[in-house]
Chains A and B, each alone.
Chain A
Amino acid sequence: MNKLLRQSTKFTALLISVLLLVWRPAAATLTIHITEGVEGALPIALVPFAVTGTEKLPVSLTEVIGADLVTTGRFAPLPENDLIERPDESTKVEYSLWRNKRVDYVVVGKIQLLSPDNYSAQFELVDVIKGTRMIGQTFQAKASGLRRVAHLISDQIYEAITGQRGAFDTYLAYVTITKDRRGKSIYRLAVADVDGANEQMIYESTWPIFSPAWSPDATRLAFVVLRAGSPELYIQNVYSKYAQKVAAFQGLNNAPAWSPDGRRMALTLSKDGNAEIYIMAVDSKKLIRITNSYAVETEAAWAADGSALFFTSDRGGKPQIYRVKITDHGSSGPAQRLTFDGDYNARAAVSPDGKHIAMVNGGGEKSRIGVLDMDTEQFTIVTDMDTKLAESPSFAPNGGMIIYETRADDKGVLVVTSADGRVKHRLSLQSGDVRQPAWSPYKRGE
């Protein structure tokens, strides 16, 4: 009997252990870990807006919106031929149809000509995966304002989906180079919408134009004209076209940078013998010297809160980015070197949130664009491997994109990259040779 008991105990133990092996406890739900997704663009269907009251619109809003969204690299608009239905209201959207087409979002809308040159444009954004209407708005505009309405809709779509403010209703400033009949170069400072449309000439010169810099309110541009080998600094209102020469000191008058409050401007002067950083009061033109060394100090950029300047200096033998804290009266403490990746880092551009510094890395033929994460001190190259002569990085006001200049077929082209370098888009502009891009801040007071 005892033996029997022992055996059965042994057996019970075996049985339990086997059962434990077999049965996953009901409480422990299986968890599948997805550490990485795909670096893809979000499929979005832009259904051409239904038009009433007119035969033909001056511009297709959905085309403008589509181009805007493509630029970010985060959206893949469905080709128009693949649109399976053309609803004009969110309530008419058949979610499952779009889901089957592997579409995540659908944009629908209507445009109505209310009275001559007075349009009403309405759009709605639908999340067809979740089956919800996300946002919608109605605008009123003249024919000339319809492109801007499209950019504003792009902004809203972008923000609703990505959580980041859109930067489509902003400007790009850049310099174009063309040849006249006699083969002489003509330099033009131009301003256009972010998609390159509505290009307007701001300043024209037979002398090279450099370093356009936007005022924080996006109304004025500071720039340098290399007149007869001697740089002069100008400020011009992009709307009134009123231009003002603000600095023409002996030597360099270079690399202007507006302070976040717009009242001061950092610039490089060599009037005292060596290229140094100064801060000039925009109204009084009063100067404060910030740096003072035997080395070249130039290309100042403001910290987002205006408390410091980033600049390029070769005080260590090679150009590197330094940071110096500033007060109303000058610098505060010694400059601090920030970059250590490679032996050439120059032309700092500060992201709007102040957390990233874009710069030219490498110099010369091999120059690329790198981004330094100020929190992690991680340095990332955002240009492609075969990129040459990358120059002049400039952040979009939402920080999500960077525009820079590079060369293709020996001509300058502008490339917009996502700030992490994942997606790039070459900007198509009317002019053939384009350089020195500057992305405007958000428009204010409107």
Chain B
Amino acid sequence: MFTVFKNHPRYVIAAVVVHLVVGILFAVSFHWTSTPAGSLPPVIQIHTVTDKQIQEIVRSPKAVETPKTDPKDEAAARRQRAEEQKKLQEAERRKEADRKKVALEQERVKKQQKQLEDKRQEELKRTQQFKDKIAAEQKRFDEDQKRQEQLQLQQQQERQRQQAEAIARQAESKRQATIIDKYEALMHQKVKQNWIQPPSSRKKVCIVKINMIPTGDVIDITIISSSGDPVFDRSVVHAIKKSSPLPVPPPEAGLFNVFRELNFEFGTES
């Protein structure tokens, strides 16, 4: 800071001066706004008496210069002088009254002007307030509008994103269904091959519930509906156990939950 001051004293001073000027200008404050047309009160015509007029009025008696007279005419002169004095006084008095009247009139006019000015200022202030209010409302409205537009845009984007996701999910579910079908078929094949069906299996049905771990190893077999024939039921349990581990989708397919718990129905009612 000081180095700047030291190095460029002229600029600093200039800057200070400019600041001061600007500061003063701000302090004085401009009133740029013009009186809005149509909203002004009617102009009042005032009769103004200037100082010059008043001086003329005051000076006018001097124009009647009295000539030098002899003592005889002293008295008359005195009288005349007295009379003139009197006239003068009278004029003076009138002048004074006029002046007073003018001053009064001026005072009145000033007062009236001030009142007008006050009124005008008041009017201006109100106008400004009104304008400010309108502007604020406009601003608020604009902001609302903007916010809503933004919200709509966001919602639309979200919708598009979700729709895209849904479509992707649908495709994924189709893909998964294909994988599920495939492994269902593989399991069916393996278990069928391991099921040595007892000769007396006609009209026998046995349903078992199995639980697997992700390797396909069967960790639990529960007969949930017995065929009523222990030999048939055992053949079913054997078929499952001999098929363990069952073919399961690779872990990356993320489908293990579909196969974690399975039912196998062996045999037919007919």
Contact = CB atoms under 8 A, between A and B. Distances in A.
Contacts, number: 111
Interface in A380-425: 400, 418-420, 422
A408 to B, nearest CB: 25
B230 to A, nearest CB: 6
Given A4-B155, A31-B262, A102-B242, 19 more contacts: A11-B162, A18-B166, A29-B209, A30-B180, A33-B264, A33-B265, A35-B267, A37-B235, A74-B199, A99-B241, A99-B242, A104-B196, A129-B242, A130-B234, A130-B237, A161-B231, A162-B231, A418-B199, A420-B199
Contacts of B173: 21-22
B123 interface: no
B169 interface: yes
Contact of B264 (A32, A102, A418): A32
A11 B159 CA distance: 8
Interface in B217-270: 229-231, 234-235, 237-239, 241-242, 258-259, 261-268
Contacts of A21: 170, 173
Given A22-B170, A22-B173, A420-B199, A34 B264 contact: yes
Given A7-B159, A32-B188, A35-B268, A22 B262 contact: no
A197 interface: no
Interface in B132-186: 152, 155, 159, 162-163, 166, 169-170, 172-173, 180, 184
A39 interface: yes
Contact of B152 (A4, A18, A41): A4
Contact of B241 (A37, A130, A419): A130
Interface in A29-67: 29-42
Contacts of A19: 169
A374 interface: no
B169 A18 contact: yes
Contacts of A22: 169-170, 172-173
B192 interface: yes
A32 B243 CA distance: 14
Nearest to A76: B196
Given A14-B163, A34-B195, A29 B170 contact: no
A38 B197 CA distance: 6
B262 A29 contact: yes
Contacts of A7: 159
Nearest to A423: B199
Contacts of A162: 198, 231
29 contacts: A11-B159, A15-B162, A19-B169, A21-B173, A30-B180, A30-B258, A30-B263, A31-B263, A32-B184, A32-B187, A33-B264, A33-B265, A34-B239, A34-B264, A34-B267, A36-B192, A36-B197, A37-B192, A37-B195, A38-B192, A39-B196, A104-B238, A129-B237, A129-B241, A130-B234, A130-B237, A161-B231, A400-B199, A420-B199
